[in-house]
A and B are shown apart, each in its own frame.
Chain A
Amino acid sequence: MILSHTPTKREIVSFVVFGDGRYDFRVLKAICEKFNGAKELVSPQLQGAKGLTNSLRSVAKLLDILRINVEKTKFVILIDKEHIGDIKQMKKITEFFISESIKEDVQKQFFKFKILRGSKKTTPYIIVMGYNKCIEENISHLIEKNYEERVAPTRQSIREFLRRKGINLEDLIRRASQKALNEAFGNVVELLKEIDR
């Protein structure tokens, strides 16, 4: 499975919008590569969407303009926890869509919706990154599981660790065991399994 900015000739299973876009794109891209198969996720953003409302706006516009089977192709928002709180925040979705249901899958750690926009019905997902704040917490957790070393969940500390090990973020994920990945990025792994079906 691959994640790209521009579609190739592969089967597109999902359009992805990133709420921030700092590490998120790189992390998801590296995790996708650990899944076999020729399917594709596409992120056609100009830059990180900066927040839940802007992310929802991007998804709404994509739904309006894309000539695709929206029941088959999923829409995913990947966003840091600091930008959303709990299921009550998800009511923002009604600014852009008619919401038929909002379901928090606590076990799989993402939100799943059934929405209507115009005549289009689809099921977007929102994956929340971070335990308290942001994706750096997941990365820090992965480092601990893989290297048994505690690194503060900040960009600077992670950067210093990677530099010291002579690797980059993608290497960290590629070399991670499946168990470590499931623990640190469980929601991403579960979502990819779900959309790969």
Chain B
Amino acid sequence: MKINSMVAFIPNDSNFLKSVREKIVSAWSTIMKSGANVRVVRDLISRVVHDEFTEVYLGANNVLELRKELPDDKVFWIRVTDIGDGVERLLISALYLEVLRPKLVLWDDIEASAHPGLIEVLIKWLINKNWQIVISTHSIDVLNLLTKIAPADTLIWVLRSDEYDRLNIKQLTIDDVADILESNIDIRRILDQL
């Protein structure tokens, strides 16, 4: 496997999101020129909140706002923070990735602050881009979604430490995990016996 140029890491860390947000603010003209502020909202955010937003904009006091067009041609702006932490995290992370265009995305605890509907949209968005993705999760919802979406070339690594703190890895395919879930077994509960 050849990794070119950038690797983007998205940890489950509010300090990280805060620092990315600051970078987004400082790089806002680049974001607008690339059209990322429209693409991310159209392809991701509007599908998560089931509302028709057209773009995200940097408003007064550097507040991120989503633009909504009403039937009578009026325009309405909603602060991203008013929609929820999960959506804000998603928007900031997606803008960060859209600008960086890394070859490899590492996303830690992808289910953090996100309901299953949001995770599904996010996973589908991620797999439609031209990068490789590594996600970590503890969530059975994420496993269920992966087996449902079944992205091509997906491998699942089950990681666990033994009593000597050595990390052991067991590799499974999507089909392996699907079979286990369809047999009504929670794979997370039998990691030591796999």
Q: Do chains A and B stick together as partners?
A: yes
> Assuming A66-B193, A67-B194, is B186 touching A45 (CB within 8 A)?
yes
- The interface residues of chain B, by DSSP majority, are classed as helix
With beta carbons under 8 angstroms apart, the residue of A42, A46, A61, A65 that contacts B140 is A46
Shortest distance in angstroms between A45's beta carbon and chain B's nearest beta carbon?
5
- A168 contacts partner chain B, Cβ-Cβ < 8 Å: no
Shortest distance in angstroms between A194's beta carbon and chain B's nearest beta carbon?
22
Q: Assess whether A65 is in contact with B192, with CB atoms less than 8 Å apart.
A: no
Q: Assess whether B193 is in contact with A46, with CB atoms less than 8 Å apart.
A: no
Determine the distance from Cα of A5 to Cα of B186 in the docked complex, in whole angstroms. Answer: 9
Contacts of B180 in A (CB 8 A): 61, 65
In B78-129, the 8 Å CB interface with A consists of: none
Q: Assess whether A7 is in contact with B184, with CB atoms less than 8 Å apart.
A: no
With beta carbons under 8 angstroms apart, the residue of B179, B184, B192 that contacts A46 is B184
Classify chain A's interface size.
Answer: 20 to 34
> What residue of chain A has the Cβ atom nearest to residue B188's Cβ?
A6
- B130 contacts partner chain A, Cβ-Cβ < 8 Å: no
> What residue of chain B has the Cβ atom nearest to residue A9's Cβ?
B163
In B35-80, the 8 Å CB interface with A consists of: none
Shortest distance in angstroms between A25's beta carbon and chain B's nearest beta carbon?
13
Contacts of A65 in B (CB 8 A): 180, 185, 190, 194
Q: Mark B171-194, 1 if CB is under 8 A from A, else 0.
A: 000000001110111101110111
> Assuming A61-B179, A61-B180, is B185 touching A7 (CB within 8 A)?
no
Determine the distance from Cα of A46 to Cα of B181 in the docked complex, in whole angstroms. Answer: 8
> Assuming A61-B179, A61-B180, A65-B180, is B192 touching A45 (CB within 8 A)?
no
B residues neighboring A (CB under 8 Å)? 140, 179-181, 183-186, 188-190, 192-194
With A7-B192, A17-B184, A45-B184 known, 5 other A-B pairs at CB within 8 A are A5-B189, A44-B190, A46-B181, A57-B184, A58-B183
